Chains A and B, each alone.
Chain A
Amino acid sequence: MSETKMTLKDFKPDQEVRWCPGCGDYAILNATQKALAEIGVPKENVVVISGIGCSSRFPYYVDTYGFHTIHGRALAIATGVKVANPDLAVWVATGDGDAMSIGGNHLIHALRRNVNVKILMFNNEIYGLTKGQYSPTSPRGKKTKTSPYGSLDHPFHPLELALGAGATFVARTMDTQPKHMKEVLMAAAAHEGAAFIEIWQNCHIFNDGAFKDWSTKDTRDDNTVVLRSGEPMVFGKDKEKGLIVDCHGNSIVDADKAMTWDASTPTPVPAYLLAALDREPDMPRAVGIFRQVEQTTYERDVNAQVAEVKSTRGLSSLKDLIYTPDAWTVD
C-alpha cells in the first residue's frame, strides 16, 4: 500500500450527516475515518458499500468510492467488486436487519468464501429506519410496534453465526469505546480475508440502552472481557477477575488463574465458547478479536485460476473462441 500520509479530514466528504443527534453511528463513522487515514490506503482505492437501513447511509459520509445498494445485498455486490479488482479495499456497512435478516444468505456465503471485505455490522437490536420493529437480534419477549405483546422469535447471536459460517476474522466492539473500535478496525483491515465485526450501537430513539449492562462506563469493566491474543482473559475495575471457558462449564476465577486467549487456534470451538457467554446472564460478555486465521481469499483464487488456465491453455483470441476445431468449411 501507498505511503501517503492522510488525515481524518481526507475521508470527510462535503455531505451533511443525517443520523439522529446522539446516535451511536457517529462514533463508528469517526473511528472508521480515523482507521482509514491511519492505514494510509489511497482513498481512490477504498470502496464503501452498504445495503439499506440507518447504517447504510455510511457511504455518503466517507469521501471514497461508495455504493449504497439495496436491502441485504451489499455483500453480494461487494463480492463482485472484489473479484473485479482485488486491490480495492472494500468496507461494508450493514445492520442487524440488513445482514442477519434479508441479507443473511449473502452474509454466510461471503464469510465461507472468505471474500476480503471488512463487514461492519451495526447491531442495535431494532429496525431503526422503519421506526422501531423487532430485528433478528432483538431478545425474545422484546416489545416493539410489531410485537406489542412481546416478540416470539429467538434471536440470532451474530458472532456464533459468523463462526458457524467459517469466518476467518470475527470480532466485537462497541460505539462507546472508540479507541477499542479503532484497534479492532485496524486489525480487521490488516487481515487478508473476510472480517466480521459486530458493533454494539445504541439506537437511543427506538431501543435506548440495549447494551447498557455492558457498554457504559459503569458497567463495562465488570461485565466485559476484552480478548487479545496472548493476553490473559481478565476483567473487573482492577483487572482482578479472570475467566476460564470450557465445554462443560465456564467459571470466573482470580486474575492469575485466567486462561490466555488465542484467536488463531485451528478449531473455532474456543471462539464459539466465548461467543456463547452471551447466553449466560451471570457471565461477562466478551469483546475484541474472537477469531483470526489465515485462509486464501475468494477473489485471489478466482483470478489465479483464470490466470493459470490462460497460461496453460493459451488460445485466448476471438478467433480461438469462435473458430474451433469442429468447424468445417464450405468452398
Chain B
Amino acid sequence: MSTEVIRQEDVVIRFAGDSGDGMQITGSQFTETTAMVGNDLATFPDFPAEIRAPAGTRAGVSGFQIRFSSGDIFTPGDTPDVLVAMNPAALITNYQDLKPGGIILVNSGAFNERDFKQAKLDSNPLEDGTLSAYRVIEIDINARVSEALADSPLNKKDVLRCKNFYTLGLMYWLFSRPTQPTLDWLAEKFAKKPELVEANQTALKAGFNSGSTLELFQGRFTVAPVEDIPKGTYRNIMGNEALSLGLAAGAKLAGLRAFLGSYPITPATDILQYMSAMKSHGVVTAQMEDEIAGICTAIGASYAGMLGITTTSGPGLALKTEAVGLAVMTELPLVVVDVQRAGPSTGMPTKVEQADLNQALYGRNSEAPLPVIACASPADAFDCAVEACRLAVEYMTPVILLSDNYIANGAEPWLLPDLDALESFKVNRAEAGDDFQPYARDERLVRPWAIPGTPGLQHRIGGLEKEHLTGNVSYDPENHQQMVELRQDKILGIRKTIPTPHFDGADSGDLLIVGWGSTHGAIHTAVMKPDKPDQKVGHLHLRHIHPLPDGLPEIFARYERILVPELNMGQLARYLTSEYPQFKFESMHKVMGKPFKAAEIRARITAMLEDRS
C-alpha cells in the first residue's frame, strides 16, 4: 500500500524509557540525523541522577525531548506531539505533557503485571481508559527485535538491548529521516565489536521497515528543511561542548595555553571530559583531588603564565569561594564556569535552575567584585566562553561564567564562527625594567602580569592587602580604601567594552521582558508569537550581568511595565532593583527543576496586559 506523507512545520517528540533503555542515545542519534537533514532543532534531555535506579520504576525514567522544524525555533517545545514510551513507568510519568490527540507509541512487550507493579500501577493504562485522549499505537518491540535478531550470536539479554535502535528505526520511518548516518555511527562506535554493529544495524533497519510492513500508522510525516537558513557551516552542538570549545578558542585568541583544573560534578563534568581530549590544542587538564584544588591549580597556572580555568556547579562554586577571592586580590586571570543545577545543597543535580546568580555576584567575603556573564543557549555558550577569556586576560581578573543544566545538555545547530572575525586579546605582560612595580596600573586600572622565570621581575603577591603600586603588604587605612575602590573601578570600567544587549520585539510599549541565561528561548518564543498580535512586548536579554551594560535605563523607560522571569526566586529582579531603583521590576519565578514553557510566559504577558486594561 502507498502511505500518505503529511507535511508538518514543527514536531516535538519525547523518547522516554528506563534509564537502562538507551533513550539518551536514541534521542541524540535522532538529533544528529535531524540536524543533517537541515531542520532547525532544540533538545532537552531529562534523566534521573541515579545511574541505574531500579529497573521499571518511575524514579528510573529517562527522557529525551527533541523539537525540529522547518522554521526558526528557540525551545525544545512545551508539549510533545509524539511520546515514545518503552515501559509503563515511562508512559505514566510523561503522557500528561502530550498534546491532546497526540501519538503515543508504546512498547507493549514491557506491559506485564511485573512492570505495572514496578511502576506502582493498579491496572494496565493501555486498557483502563487513561489514554483515551490520545492516539495509542502498541507494538511489542521486545518480540519484534527478537525476531529480527533470531540469527544473531548475541544472547537474549543483549538482543533486547537493541530495542532502542529498533524504535529509532521506526521513528526514522515515521518522520522520513535517513538511516545511513546512524548506521555509520554504529559502525564506528562499536568498531571493535562487529557482532554489536551487526545486531544494532539490523534492529535499526528492521524498525524502519516495520513502519510500512506493520501498517501501524495511517501516514508518514515529513518536516521540510529550513529554507531561509543563513548560509554557512554548521555543527549540531551541546552546551557543554560549545563552552569547552569556547574556552579552548579563548586561550588561543589570547596566545596562551589553557589550563583546566577541575573536579567531576554534575552537570559540569562534560567540560572536563571534552577538554581532556583537546591535548592536540595544547590544552592541559588536571582532575584534582577536590573543588578547591581545581581552582587553586588554575590560579597557580595563571600565576605562571597560562590561562587558568576551573569548571563546576553550584556546590563546587561554594567550595571555591575563598580561592576566587584570592584571584580577586592577586588580580590574576581566571575563568570560573558554574553550570548551575537545582539546589540548595546537593539539591536536584540533574535538574535546571538559575539560582546561583546571587552566589556569583556576592558569594565572597568582603568587597570582591568580578565580572559575571551568562550564556543563553548551547551555541551562545561558545561566544560567552570566548568573552569570559577576553575579560579575564584583558582585565587580569577572575570571571564567573554562568551556564545551566538546560544549556549544558541541550543541543542546537551552531553556525560556526568566521575565524577571521575572531579578534585576539591583548595580554598585559610586564616588561623587565628598573621601574617595574607589580601593582602599577594602566589607564584601564589593570596591573601587569609578571611571570615567574622572567629575570628582574621578582616580586611577591598574596592574599594580604597590597600597597598601591609596590604590592608590598599594607595595613594602611587610606591604602585599603584606595585599593578596594581601584579593584571595583577596574571591573566597572569593563562597561566601556560591552555592547548594548540583544533586543527583540517591540522597541517600546506595554511591557518589556528582561531575561538572562537559558530562559532566552522561552521568552523569545513568547514575545515573537504572542497570544494577540497587538501586544507590544519587547525582550531584552542580558549576557553581561556584572557590570551591567550602559544604556539600560533609557531602554527601561520606554515601557510601561518590566517583567523579569527567572528560574529562581527573583535574584536578577532584586539586583536590577538595587541598581535602578527608579524602575519597578516585577518578578516571575519558577523553581521546579524544569525550564519555562513559552506558554507560561505568554500567559503571564496576556494576564499583565489585561490587568492594565
Contact = CB atoms under 8 A, between A and B. Distances in A.
Interface in A64-81: 64-70, 73, 76-81
B463 A80 contact: no
Contacts of B560: none
Contact of A329 (B35, B234, B283, B464): B234
A44 B259 contact: no
Contact of B300 (A42, A60, A80, A326): A80
A85 B452 contact: yes
B458 A87 contact: no
Interface string B260-299: 0100000000000000001111111010111011001111
Interface in B570-601: none
Between B232, B280, B281, B456, the greatest number of chain A beta carbons within 10 A of the residue's beta carbon is seen for B280
Contacts of B230: 330
Interface stretch (A153-161, A243-251, A317-325): A317-325
Nearest to B252: A318
Interface string A297-331: 00000110110011001111011111110111111
A78 B241 CA distance: 29
Contacts of B326: 69-70
B300 A85 contact: no
A79 B590 CA distance: 42
B120 interface: no
Contacts of A45: 452-453
A69 B464 CA distance: 9
Given A43-B458, A68-B463, A80-B298, A330 B231 contact: yes
B460 A66 contact: yes
Contacts of B257: 84
Contacts of A105: 289-290, 293
B607 interface: no
Between A42, A49, A322, the greatest number of chain B beta carbons within 10 A of the residue's beta carbon is seen for A322
Interface string A90-134: 000000000000000110010000000000000000000000000
B289 A330 contact: no
A60 B473 contact: yes
Contacts of A83: 259, 284, 286, 297, 300-301
Contacts of B252: 318, 321
B143 interface: no
Contacts of A303: 284
Interface stretch (B304-312, B497-505, B522-530): B304-312
Contacts of B459: 65-66
B322 A84 contact: no
Interface string B447-475: 00000111111111111100000001100
Contact of B292 (A59, A60, A73, A85): A73
A277 interface: no
A33 B42 CA distance: 62
A267 interface: no
A23 interface: no
Given A60-B473, A76-B296, A77-B296, A68 B464 contact: yes
B235 A70 contact: no
A233 interface: no
Interface string B313-326: 00000000011011
Given A79-B286, A322-B249, A44 B453 contact: yes
Interface residues of A, number: 57
B305 A85 contact: yes
B322 A70 contact: yes
A105 B463 CA distance: 21
B191 interface: no
A262 to B, nearest CB: 31
Contacts of B330: 67
B229 interface: yes
Given A323-B416, A328-B233, A70 B323 contact: yes
A63 interface: yes
A117 to B, nearest CB: 10
B260 to A, nearest CB: 11
A109 B460 contact: no
B280 A69 contact: no
Given A69-B463, A76-B300, A80-B299, A328 B234 contact: yes
B36 to A, nearest CB: 6
Contacts of A328: 35-36, 233-235
Given A79-B300, A322-B245, A323-B233, A106 B289 contact: yes
B236 to A, nearest CB: 8
A77 B297 CA distance: 5
B282 A302 contact: no
Contact of B458 (A44, A302, A305, A331): A44
Contacts of B419: 318-319, 322
Interface in B214-255: 229-236, 245, 248-249, 252-253
Nearest to A313: B280
A109 B249 contact: no
Nearest to B450: A65
B458 A65 contact: yes
Contact of B280 (A43, A64, A315, A318): A315
A302 to B, nearest CB: 6
Contacts of B454: 44
Between A15, A52, A303, A330, the greatest number of chain B beta carbons within 10 A of the residue's beta carbon is seen for A330
A88 interface: yes
Nearest to A45: B453
Interface of B: 32, 35-36, 38, 229-236, 245, 248-249, 252-253, 257, 259, 261, 278-284, 286, 288-290, 292-293, 296-306, 308, 322-323, 325-326, 330, 416-417, 419, 422, 452-464, 472-473
3 closest pairs, A vs B, by CB? A80-B300, A68-B462, A76-B296
Interface of A: 15, 42-45, 47, 49, 52, 59-60, 63-70, 73, 76-85, 87-88, 105-106, 109, 302-303, 305-306, 309-310, 313-316, 318-324, 326-331
26 contacts: A44-B458, A59-B460, A59-B462, A65-B458, A66-B458, A66-B460, A67-B460, A76-B288, A76-B297, A79-B288, A79-B300, A80-B297, A80-B300, A80-B301, A80-B308, A83-B284, A84-B259, A85-B304, A109-B293, A316-B282, A318-B249, A318-B419, A320-B280, A322-B245, A329-B233, A329-B234
